[in-house]
Amino acid sequence: MAANPLTKRTRVDTDDVQGLVLQGFGKHRAAAYLVLEVIDGAGARSWLSSLLPEITLGEARPSGVARNLALTSSGLAKLGLPPATLSGFSLEFLEGMTSAHRSRLLGDEGAAAPVRWEWGAPGGPEVDVLLLVFAPDTDALTAALERHRADLTGSGLREVATLDTEDIGRGEHFGFRDGLSQPTMSGVGRAGPQRHTVAPGEFLLGYLNEHGQYPRSPQVTGADDLDFGRNGSYLVLRTLVQDVAGFWRYVDRATRRPDGSPDPEARTALAARMVGRWPSGAPLTLSPEVDRSELAEQNDFGYDADDRDGMRCPVGAHVRRTNPRDSLPPKPGTEASTDVGKRHRLLRRGRPFGPPIAPDAALDEGSAQPADRGLHFLALCSDIARQFEFISHTWAMNPAFAGLLDDADPLLGGHSSRGTSFTVQGVPVRRRHQGVPAFVTPRGGAYFFLPGGRALRHLAGS
Ligand code: HEM
């Protein structure tokens, strides 16, 4: 089904949308997220009221520090949002990321179980508010955080975790470019390739989505009549620890020559097949044998015409699972197939944390640092179940994805005791790598809502 033509004409009321939905604050290289618990609702409301002028709204690139603010369902309740309004949010948001059902769905079991998490764990301090601070440099960030911490004293909120980020350039810790493939929201200033242009209602409440429907949105009725959800977005945050040494050691062992010597080229090629892009970002579908950095930002490609069987980019690679593009039934290779995929897109705004380590250093047993490093994965969408959870469960973690037999996402899976398999399609025979262990383990997370400007003012009572 083609996207509803109405969605193409809608203009987004960008001045009322928090900046993070419209931009990644990429020039703001320093960032930290404060996870807060509300102790006293009235105090928290007045804290929010004084913070309001500093919240960054709209598309304009901020010159100074940028701030955005999101809340969990418990945070919204503590700030006084009435049950009738709260009930308009989605069930998964109201239940939260750590309900037993969601843990099963997201694979958060065993070592990944929420009881082991550093923040957001059931029974731990309640996660109510997330203050995201982006600064042009670390000095500006330090100064802003000091000010915010001073403001928190006696405010009715307390800090339960600080999520620091690390500027490691444009990549993630395994050594690959990240943040390359993003959907373009129609109805805002920018234009992008048609295959990545998605209706605003996929990311913002209050607009038509790719089904031609308005997402369910919480309402405030009575004297303050307000579509509380409008211009707001759900925000999924997960702290994912990456075992960089484990990743490079696995691909090193799997690609040794018959005489036992390492084969660096084959090692990088296997790692790239797991991701679906080379370290530079070049897509394997466009360059299957060598990394060609000039293709790094090339994103206007599909899989069906030239790579239906995964001979270039394996069918189970991370990027192919998390966005199968035009390979989805019922008619792979057509616009209708891409349109099905458009109902499962995410705006990714994650940032790495922890010190970087180069692949060679990770392979050197002596020098591998035990430090924690990983990704504060952050995604925005209008329907957590249909977008983030569907991608995680039905595509990434699904052992039978696209006709595979027992393979989960090679970056995100591997949590069972025997690991997962990873299949590299080939002629005359495919190659199956067995026992791929878990390289990524969740250590915290929650579902938040990032309200529009009007909704924030309503919450603050101003
Ligand atoms: C530590 C964990 C993760 C790492 C290291 C990682 C790494 C990457 C890399 C290197 C890319 C390719 C560059 C790009 O297109 O931006 C990518 C793409 C992507 N990842 Fe992840 N990722 C992680 C977790 C996740 C999770 C949890 C999800 C969602 C459930 C996800 C969804 C996506 C999507 C949707 C794409 C874009 C695919 C496309 O449109 O072609 N990633 N990731």
Residue 174, pLDDT above cutoff 80: yes
Ligand 1 site, residue 106, Cβ cutoff 6 A:
no
Ligand 1 site, residue 420, Cβ cutoff 6 A:
no
Q: Return the ligand 1 atom nearest residue 375 CA.
A: 1
Q: Is residue 375 part of a domain?
A: no
Mean of the per-residue pLDDT values of the chain? 95
The total domain count for the chain is 2
Place of tokens 């059931």: 122
Residue 161, pLDDT above cutoff 60: yes
C-beta neighbour count of 434 within 10 angstroms: 11
Residue 371: what pLDDT? 72
Percent of the chain with pLDDT over 90: 91
Same domain, 232 and 326: no
Ligand 1 site, residue 390, Cβ cutoff 6 A:
no
Q: Is residue 327 part of a domain?
A: yes
Q: Is residue 372 part of a domain?
A: no
Q: Is residue 213 part of a domain?
A: yes
How far, in Å, is the centroid of ligand 1 from the Cα of 107? 17
pTM exceeds 0.95: yes
Q: Which residue's CA is minimally distant from atom 42 of ligand 1?
A: 322
Q: Are 338 and 301 in contact (CB under 8 A)?
A: no
Sorted by sequence, the CB contacts under 8 Å of residue 119 that are 6+ apart come out as 35, 125, 127, 160, 161, 163, 239, 444, 446
Is cis: bond before 428, omega within 30 of 0? yes
User: What is residue 30's three-state secondary structure?
Assistant: strand
Same domain, 16 and 112: yes
What Rg do the C-alpha atoms of the chain give, in angstroms? 22
How far, in Å, is the centroid of ligand 1 from the Cα of 322? 7
Same domain, 246 and 234: no
Task: Please tell me the number of Cα atoms within 13 Å of 84 on its side-chain side.
Answer: 7
At 197, give phi and psi (nearest 5°): -90, 120
Same domain, 321 and 222: no
Same domain, 163 and 179: yes
Is cis: bond before 329, omega within 30 of 0? no
How far, in Å, is the centroid of ligand 1 from the Cα of 179? 8
Q: Is residue 129 part of a domain?
A: yes
The closest of 176, 192, 195 to 184, measured between CA atoms, is 192
Q: Is residue 367 part of a domain?
A: no
Q: What is the mean pLDDT of residues 211-239?
A: 96
Same domain, 196 and 269: no
Same domain, 202 and 246: no
Q: Return the ligand 1 atom nearest residue 299 CA.
A: 41
Token pair for 21: 């939905």
pLDDT, tens digit (0-9, with 9 covering 90-100), for 61-97: 999 999 999 999 999 999 999 999 999 999 999 999 9
Same domain, 265 and 226: no
Q: What is the mean pLDDT of residues 26-36?
A: 98
Same domain, 66 and 107: yes
Q: Is residue 385 part of a domain?
A: no
The closest of 32, 31, 22, 10 to 56, measured between CA atoms, is 22
**306-328: burial string, b at 16+ Cβ within 10 Å, e else:** ebeebbbbbbbbbbbbbbbbbbb
Q: What is the DSSP letter of 18?
A: B
Ligand 1 site, residue 240, Cβ cutoff 6 A:
yes
Same domain, 406 and 420: yes
Q: Which of 338-352, 355-369, 407-421 has the highest mean pLDDT?
A: 338-352
pLDDT, tens digit (0-9, with 9 covering 90-100), for 98-109: 999 999 999 999
Q: Where are the alpha helices (DSSP H) in 227-299?
A: 244-254, 264-275
Same domain, 39 and 60: yes
Q: Is residue 133 part of a domain?
A: yes
Confidence of residue 1 (pLDDT cuts 50, 70, 90): very low
Could you tell me the sign of the dihedral formed by the alpha carbons of 387, 390, 393, 399, in that order? negative
pLDDT, tens digit (0-9, with 9 covering 90-100), for 108-120: 999 999 999 999 9
Ligand 1 site, residue 440, Cβ cutoff 6 A:
yes
Q: What is the mean pLDDT of residues 34-63?
A: 97
The best mutation among 97, 165, 181 to test binding of ligand 1, ranked by most ligand atoms within 8 Å of the C-beta, falls on 181
Same domain, 224 and 324: no
In this structure, the dihedral spanned by the alpha carbons of residues 416, 418, 420 and 424, taken in order and rounded to 10 degrees, is 180
Pairing of the two strands 347-348 and 374-381: antiparallel
Range of 169's domain? 5-238+445-460
